[in-house]
Structure formats: C-alpha cells, structure tokens
Amino acid sequence: MRDAAPTTIYLKDYTPFGYVVDSVHLTFDLEPHSTRVTSQIAFTPNPEATDRSFFLHGEQLKLISAKIDGIAISPTVTEQGLSCDVPNAPFTWETVVEIDPANNTALEGLYMSNGMYCTQCEAEGFRKITFYPDRPDVMSVFTVRINGPHPVLLSNGNPVDAGPHWAEWHDPWPKPAYLFALVAGELLAHSSTFTTVSGKHVDLNLYVRPGDEGKCAFGMEALKKSMIWDEQVYGREYDLDVFNIVAVDDFNMGAMENKGLNVFNSSCVLASPETSTDDNFERIEAIIAHEYFHNWTGNRITCRDWFQLCLKEGLTVFRDSQFTSDLRSAPVKRIRDVIDLRGRQFAEDNGPLSHPVRPESFQEINNFYTATVYEKGAEVIGMLKRLVGDAAYAEAVDLYFARHDGQACTIEDWLKVFEDTTGRDLTQFKRWYSQAGTPRVNVTEDWTDGTYTLTFTQSTPATPGQPHKDPRVIPIAVGLLGSNGDEVRKTEMLELTEASQSFSFDGLSSRPTPSILREFSAPVILERDSTNAERAFLLAHDTDPFNRWEAGNALAKDARLNMITKGAAPDADYLDALQKLVRDDDLDPGFRALVLQPPSASDLAQTLFENEHAPDPQAIYDASETMAQTLAQTLADSLPRLYAATTVEGPYQPDAVGASNRMLNFRMLALLSRLDGGDQAAQQFASADNMTLQYAALVCLLSIDKGAEQNQAFFDQWKDDRLVMDKWFAAQVAFATPEKTAAIAATLTQHPLFDMKNPNRFRAVMGALAMNHAGFHHISGDAYSLLADWLIKLDPLNPQTTARMCSAFQTWKRYDADRQALIKIQLDRIAATPDLSRDTTEMITRIREA
Ligand code: 0A1
Ligand code: ZN
C-alpha cells in the first residue's frame, strides 16, 4: 500500500493543536536524490488547547536524527508522522530528514521539474518536506537557508543574505506551512518595480527558464495592474520588499499563492502574441490577479482548517472576477462565468460528487479543490454583496481585514462581520455554505387589475448524504419591460426566503414582460414557461445584458432540444432573431459572439436528463451540426462583411477591444468554413501572425474534419514550444468527429512528445478526450476504456491529477443503460486496481455510488 487506509475527517471534530510554533528555521542541502532538510522549531504549549499529545505530520521522509533541546531522542514514526513525549514547557525541536525530490512524480512537497527544484505545499505537501504540524491554523515565522549550486535560490519573504551557493530568506509574516515555498535553478528574471500607495518600494521578478524570457512582459504588467487594483478597490497594500513569481512546467494545478513567492504552472503565466490566444491572455491576467489577491484573502487571513477552503477561494475568485470585469467587459465576463459555472459546477452539484461549498467531511482534501468550493463559493459572495448592497459590502470587508489580520478563520468569522456591520441575521443565508445541490426556482405570474404578481417556488433535489433541504435566501434581480422595450420597472432585488413566495408590482398600465434573475443574481436553475416570441423580444430589448444573452441562450437550447426530441427542423424564429442580432453593429462584438456560441453538448445533455430523456450524445452532435450548417446558410450574406469588419488591423495587441472583435471574427470564420469547405480558414492560417488567428483557423478546419496539412504545419512550426504543443495535442482530440476521437487520442499517446508525467500534456490529450462530448461517449466505449487505461497508469505516479480527471465519469448516470454499463466496467476496473491511491479511491468510490 502506498497510502494508509482511507480515514474520513470531519469538520465537527476540529480541535486546536496542543502547541504554538514560535519560529521555524529550515536549512536545505539540495541534492536530486538525497536532499537534507534540517528543521529547528520553537514550540510552546498552547494554553487554548486541552489535548497536549505531540504528533507531527510526516510522509515519505527518512528520519536521520531528532533532538529536543539538543538531546537526541527516538520518536515513534509511522507512515503518517511522528509522535513522542515532550516537555510541558517551551522547547526547541530539531530534526534532520532526507528526501528524494528527483523521484517525486506526485509534484507535491519538494520536487524537480526540468532540473529545477520547486515546491507545492497546499494542501498537505509540507509534511513531505519535514516533520511538522501541517495544518493551516498553526502559523509561524519562517527563516530559510538554501545550500545549492544554482544561481537562483528563492524562498518566502525578504532576502536576508546570500553567497556563492547559498541564500537566506526571512518571512516576517506568520504563515501556515502550506504557504511555504522554495525554488532553485538556472532561471532568468524579468524584473520591474512597484511603489505602493504609501510609498514602499517593491522589487518584482518573474523567473523563467532560459528561452522563455520573451514571454514575461504581459504577466508582469498584469501583476502591477493587480497591485494597483487591490489598493484602489479593497484598500490592500503589499507587505514585503519583493514579490517573486516562478514559472514551472510540471505543476498539478494553475498556480499557487505562496507568501512572496508565487509558483505558476507555466501555461498560466507565460504569454506572447505568437504563442498565446486572446483567451490565454485573459486567463493569465486573471490568475496572476487571483494569486496576488490571495496575499490578503488567504495569506494574511488564512483558513482555520481545510473545511474552510472556500473562505479564501470563494472570496479570491470573486475578487479576480471583479478585477476582470473592471479591466475588460463586465457583461462578457459575467456571461462567460455563468457558462463556465453551468458547465462545471452545475454538473458537479447535480451528480455523485455534489458537496456543500463548505464540506463537512473528506478523505483527501486535494479532491475538494472543486468548482463548488471555488466558483459556487464566489457566487455566494456575489449574492451576499447583492443582498447587503455595495457600500455595506465594502464596510464589512474592511472590518474583516481589520478584525482578523494574522488569524486563521472560519466562515462564521466571515459572516459575523456582515452581521455586525449590517445588523442582518445571516443564519438562513448560511445554508448556502452547508447545503449542497443547485436550487430549482419555479416562477409563475399573474396579471389582475393592473397588478402584476410573480410567484417563486424553490426546491433543491437530494444530494449525497443530504436527502432533505431547507429553503435558502435567494436574491432574485427582476426588471419589468413595457411592450416597446422600455424598462417600466428598474432592477429590484427580491429576496426569496420561503419555499414559496409572491411579489407584486402595482401601477402598471399594461402587462409587462419580466426579466428575471438579472445578472444571474443567484446560482439556481430558473424554471419558467416562456414562448419563443417572448425570448426573441428579450433578446432584442432587455436592458440587462446578461438576460439578453440568456434569452438567446434559451432559444438556442430549445431549438436544438426540439430537433433532438421531436425531430423538428432548425427553428425559424431563432434563426431570424440571430440574424437581426448579429447584424446589429451597435452591439459589442464579444457579446454577439457569445450569443452565437452554441450551447455546450454537456449542457444540452444535462437539460435532456432533467426532462426525463436519456441524452444521446450522437443525436446532440448531429443536431448541433445541422444547426450550424443551417445558421451558416441563413447568415451567408452577412458572413463575409462581418468577417472583414471584425478583422483587426495592425500589430496584434491582447487588449479587450481587439479580443472582442476576434471573438466574433472566429464565429464568422467557423460558419464560413461550413460554406466554403475551409478555404477562408486555410487562408487565415497561412497569413496569421498571431496565435489567436492561427489557432482559430486550425480549430475551424479540424471541426469540419479537414486541416491535415495545417495540422502538420502547426506541428513543424511549434514542435519546440511546450505550451503550443499542448494546444496541438488538445485541438486534434477536442475537435475530432465522434467516431474518430478515441483513435486520435490513442495515437497521440504514442507520440514521442506525449509525456504522461507532465500534467499539462496529460490533460491536453485526456482532458480534451473527456471534453469532446460525442467522442467521449461514443457507443463503442473506446474512449471510456482509453481514459481508464491511462488513469490506471498515472495513478501510481501522480494521484492528484489522476483523481481530478476521474470526474470525467461523474455524469455517467445521465446516459442510457448501454453507456452506463460500459462506464461501470471502467469504474470497476479502476476501483479494483491494486494499491490505488487514496485520492483516486475516494473519487471512484463516490462516483460509483451514484
Ligand atoms: N491555492 C491555489 C490552488 C492550488 C491548490 C492546490 C494545489 O496543489 C494541491 C496547487 C494550487 C489557488 O487557488 O490558486
Ligand atoms: Zn485560489
């Protein structure tokens, strides 16, 4: 067994650690296979704790020596850690351990990536570096000495001193061990400086491998924008002399907010016009902001225990969304966030992996870095802000920073600052943190004697371990439109608190058209009978951009669902509404592109399932293809003009306006390709001087089962660029036709550049396989077994990435009996694999229990 038998940890069992850590001094003697870590830790008995047993976490460590107050001791060591008797008074603890970073393929703790040393300690990776109370409520001041031959030796905080082959760092801010970081390697710095609002000078460095120095400028600018934004919007200033970012090629997640030393997956920080798309630029800007914002929401104020993960993640995602909205188009950001929420979080919340924003138990915390904790966690903050208003939100957050700076907190602490500043009782609101599942909100309406009444009824389906749900507080933003499209009632925030509740509007001269759940004011599924005519009206007139898009989205979904379930032809009203909208040059091109973006196959599948139809992935694919073809023909006259009008002249800039035009330009090219067999796309591919246009052209070609020549040319041009090669691997699988998908993915796993140990490359192929809905669910079952084969192979090397990718199977109960049987075989096969990791065991067990 590589992992100890899984045990379940419960929120209700929390107790504080028996000792306070006054200071930590670490020395690293770096060697690829035998790095020595010497720790000197000052412990004091914790007056607030009752349990004084002394247990330090430690996994995969070779204990060389242990001393208490300078005297050698022989502690009891197990696979999980170490225990021994200690004095009932302050004492100094010292251990020497040996670890093997070169063989650390799990990418947790201290590991090596392309010859460079780096660490990943969240959530529980520090215990793979040395024996320590590895829990977020134990905060301490760290001093770190690194001995190694590398020109760059980094840790948290401020540099103290350095010499040939050594460096010392001191972080004055007490922090939990999960924020510890160390980096050593032959790296180049892209440097700049920042002066904070109170005049403090900060050195900024972005460290990269030689060859990547041309991809740093955008990230550095994004960092400065984030620093200014957090000062201006949240009053948060940076608090060290340096802020370092390091790009690492082998990384399980996107990036990590270690104090003063953020470590980034290189795909989430390196960017250049030639190698990155507009979407990459926007994502990089957001992730840099996210990690930077953690300095206050996560680091200065951290989590008491891992059940409180949403305290830092929900709030930080909310803050990075605000940042992107401020810098770019707010409506486009909101629409994209909702598409993403429905695609990932709703799928999670309505399946076997459903869990509350604040879970109450887990086996492996790494499995809870989920869309529910992050994105639904952010939606909960958005709702709170809508309920109390902007000014009260600002006041409460100020109090949060003032009251809790330097502490490890809980959701109760967070809600209390809102209760104290607003006088509101948030007991019912707190259900958003404790109840899993997506609420359904049904709306009916009445028009009697000049009074218009909306009646809302809420219910949430049972989720694993939670058969019964209580009504939540749901903010529902409603506006009313008159027959000429004028707003007869501006947006009002209705507060739904009962299972069923009515709201009336008086003094209207005629029956209005309601615009409900504006700005997507709550993460719920709204159920309401509507007509195509009403949706077309809202698509043309709604003054709320989100709901305007939503009306188009509802039309788009219905048209396809009718094709699938009733054999209907592509809906004429829908096509007509789209024609009008696409040609309306007063509308933001990015917004028009989003209205044209087809609903995802997975979203259609979920809706079919909810309406008691087992979704047929091939039928969904066929309907979407027919619709795209019909749309292309309907818009044929406008396509060349709009394609030309949205072609951005001049050198490429990753700015919001250019990106918005290119979004629509891409939609036009995709439709044009269906009429001209890909001629225009081939031309664009040949002449493109930036990745956005080059990649868009390749995608358009692959989507119509063409582009073999361009695919080869793309490979020849970019084979030495890792990040572009990830795109190459992914595109071939993601845009393959259903019957070819599994075979293409299988072939790519045999490609010399396929490397399962690199999470980005593994995800490029296997993630794309799972995302190609009709390809993944092809009735041959080939994709299911291919993915299972590779999950079984990866698990012993990298449990965390394996476990995350198991979620490809989470929706299996949506599908027909044949597909369920095919998936079940694979789930059983994975479950029966000897020595399966704790991470993957937990995921597969939960999915199988569906
Ligand atoms: N805290 C990081 C995400 C992160 C979480 C876990 C990791 O390794 C297990 C790595 C990164 C963030 O929210 O950006
Ligand atoms: Zn985060």
Largest CA distance in the chain: 89
Q: Is residue 369 in contact with ligand 1, taking CB distance under 6 Å?
A: yes
**For residue 319, which ligand has an atom nearest its CA?**
2
Q: Is residue 366 in contact with ligand 1, taking CB distance under 6 Å?
A: yes
Q: Are 558 and 573 in contact (CB under 8 A)?
A: no
Strands 487-496 and 500-505: unpaired
Nearest residue (CA) to ligand 1, atom 2: 256
Q: Are 658 and 688 in contact (CB under 8 A)?
A: no
* Cα of 314 from ligand 2 centre, angstroms: 8
Q: Which atom of ligand 1 is nearest to the CA of 255?
A: 14
* Cα of 254 from ligand 2 centre, angstroms: 9
Region 147-174 average pLDDT: 98
Q: Is residue 313 in contact with ligand 1, taking CB distance under 6 Å?
A: yes
Nearest residue (CA) to ligand 1, atom 6: 122
CA dihedral (621, 622, 627, 632) in degrees, to 10, reads: 100
Q: Which atom of ligand 1 is nearest to the CA of 312?
A: 13
Digit-coded pLDDT (tens) for 212-230:
999 999 999 999 999 999 9
**Residue 5 pLDDT class (50, 70, 90 cuts):** low
How does 18-43 read in b/e, with b if 16+ C-beta sit within 10 Å?
bbbbeebbbbbbbeeeebbbbbebbb
Q: Is residue 255 in contact with ligand 1, taking CB distance under 6 Å?
A: yes
Q: What span, in angstroms and rounded, lies between the C-alpha atoms of 450 and 325?
A: 39
Q: Residue 602 has what pLDDT?
A: 95
Q: Which atom of ligand 1 is nearest to the CA of 123?
A: 9
The residue among 615, 434, 433, 438 whose CA lies nearest residue 525 is 438
Q: Any idea what DSSP says for residue 814?
A: G
Q: Any idea what DSSP says for residue 136?
A: T
Q: Are 106 and 141 in contact (CB under 8 A)?
A: no
* Cα of 122 from ligand 1 centre, angstroms: 6
* Cα of 253 from ligand 1 centre, angstroms: 6
Nearest residue (CA) to ligand 1, atom 9: 122
Q: Is residue 291 in contact with ligand 1, taking CB distance under 6 Å?
A: yes
Nearest residue (CA) to ligand 1, atom 12: 256
Strands 62-68 and 71-72: antiparallel
Digit-coded pLDDT (tens) for 241-264:
999 999 999 999 999 999 999 999
The residue among 345, 81, 122 whose CA lies nearest residue 800 is 122
Q: Is residue 837 in contact with ligand 1, taking CB distance under 6 Å?
A: no
Digit-coded pLDDT (tens) for 569-617:
999 999 999 999 999 999 999 999 999 999 999 999 999 999 999 999 9
Beta bridge partners of 77: 82
Nearest residue (CA) to ligand 1, atom 8: 122
Q: Mutate which of 284, 296, 369, 801 to test ligand 1's pocket (most atoms within 8 Å of Cβ)? A: 369
Q: What span, in angstroms and rounded, lies between the C-alpha atoms of 841 and 832?
A: 10
The residue among 570, 576, 520, 512 whose CA lies nearest residue 550 is 520
Region 521-546 average pLDDT: 97
User: What is the rounded end-to-end Cα distance, in angstroms, of the chain?
Assistant: 27
Nearest residue (CA) to ligand 1, atom 5: 122
Task: Classify 63 as helix, strand or coil.
Answer: strand
Catalytic sites, residue numbers: 291
Phi, psi of 655 (to 5 degrees): -85, 165
Q: Which atom of ligand 1 is nearest to the CA of 374?
A: 13
Strands 261-265 and 242-248: parallel
pLDDT at 655 over 80: yes
Nearest residue (CA) to ligand 1, atom 1: 256
* Cα of 311 from ligand 1 centre, angstroms: 14
Q: Are 741 and 769 in contact (CB under 8 A)?
A: yes
The identity of residue 549, as a single letter, is W
pLDDT at 411 over 50: yes
pLDDT at 748 over 80: yes
List C-alpha distances in Å: 384 to 286, 417, 477, 700: 22, 12, 13, 41
pLDDT at 6 over 80: no
Q: Residue 745 has what pLDDT?
A: 99
Digit-coded pLDDT (tens) for 259-277:
999 999 999 999 999 999 9
Region 446-467 average pLDDT: 97
Q: What span, in angstroms and rounded, lies between the C-alpha atoms of 808 and 794?
A: 15
Region 794-809 average pLDDT: 98
**For residue 312, which ligand has an atom nearest its CA?**
2
CA dihedral (479, 444, 595, 323) in degrees, to 10, reads: 50
* Cα of 378 from ligand 2 centre, angstroms: 11
* Cα of 371 from ligand 2 centre, angstroms: 11
Region 614-628 average pLDDT: 98
* Cα of 302 from ligand 1 centre, angstroms: 14
Digit-coded pLDDT (tens) for 354-383:
999 999 999 999 999 999 999 999 999 999
Q: Residue 3 has what pLDDT?
A: 52
Q: Mutate which of 127, 256, 367, 798 to test ligand 1's pocket (most atoms within 8 Å of Cβ)? A: 256
Strands of 152-155's sheet, edge to edge? 109-113, 116-120, 182-185, 152-155
Q: How many CB atoms lie within 10 A of CB 494?
A: 17
pLDDT at 804 over 90: yes
Q: What span, in angstroms and rounded, lies between the C-alpha atoms of 800 and 364?
A: 10
Q: Residue 1 has what pLDDT?
A: 41
Structure tokens that stand for 778 in this block: 């092809």
Nearest residue (CA) to ligand 1, atom 10: 253
